[in-house]
Amino acid sequence: MNPKIEPSKKRFYHRFDYRAKVKYSIPHIDNDFPLKAVTGREYGRDILNFYFNDLENVQKFINHYGDKVLKIEGPINEYHSALLVRPDVDIKKTLYYNKYRYKVRFGFQDNKIAKENNTVMALRNLVKSNKEDFLGTHLYEGIQWSWTMPVIYTKDKQSLMMLKLATSVKHKDIIKAITIKEIEENGQEHSKEVD
């Protein structure tokens, strides 16, 4: 039986596309594979994780180790492969909090400066006045801290534009959530199966 590739949510170690999870009891590892191996535990059992960059080496690995392979994770289509290398995309099972498409991080905000230009107050008011389109986190500084790092989640492009217009401070980054279901629907192939 050839395992189906399960969709991954990230590149592994920022450079590997595929991960094979294997039972820990492999007698020896051939050096024929360009890979990285890491030990770990999952569900109370020891496992080995092997990382690959191409499907051809994954196939060779499966042919060699067969029934010891528990799971293969990686891109399921070309669209998924393209998204994995983008730093402004977060691949998730669901949207943020099951509702919000975008996450906007404003980065480090010194409270003294933020009070002078009303940044945090403007974010608080925006979130408070429109709870349907926005969710804010880290908007309230603690007594012991002199800084805050606000994050605002927005429902769609329209609310994202409203957030940009409502604040004078430049955001640090905007990350778009794309779900696995959307990747399957929008990809060129709906699944890749290892031969």
H/E segment holding residue 56: helix 55-65
pLDDT band at 109 (very low <50, low <70, confident <90, very high): low
Decide: 79 and 186 in contact? Cβ < 8 Å. yes
Decide: 127 and 154 in contact? Cβ < 8 Å. no
Q: Which residues pair with 72 in a beta bridge?
A: 5, 20
Decide: 102 and 161 in contact? Cβ < 8 Å. no
The tens digit of pLDDT for each residue in 114-130 reads 565 577 788 888 999 99
Length of the chain counted residue by residue = 195
Q: Pick the more confident residue, 171 or 135.
A: 135
Beta carbons within 8 Å of 182's beta carbon, 6+ residues apart: none
Task: Pull the structure tokens for residue 177.
Answer: 């959530």
Share of the chain above pLDDT 90, in %: 36
CA 34 to chain centre: 25
Predicted confidence at residue 2, as pLDDT, reads 65
Cα separation, 142 vs 115, in Å, equals 14
Q: What is the DSSP letter of 23?
A: E
The tens digit of pLDDT for each residue in 136-191 reads 988 776 555 667 788 999 999 999 999 988 877 677 899 999 999 999 888 754 34
pTM for this prediction:
0.78
Give the mean model confidence (pLDDT) for residues 9-25.
Answer: 87
For the cut 80, the answer to whether the pLDDT of residue 78 exceeds it is: yes
Instruction: Look over the chain and give the mean of its residue pLDDT values, rounded to a whole number.
Output: 81
Predicted confidence at residue 192, as pLDDT, reads 46
Domains present along the chain, CATH in parentheses: 5-74 (3.30.70), 78-195 (3.30.70)
Give the mean model confidence (pLDDT) for residues 13-40.
Answer: 73
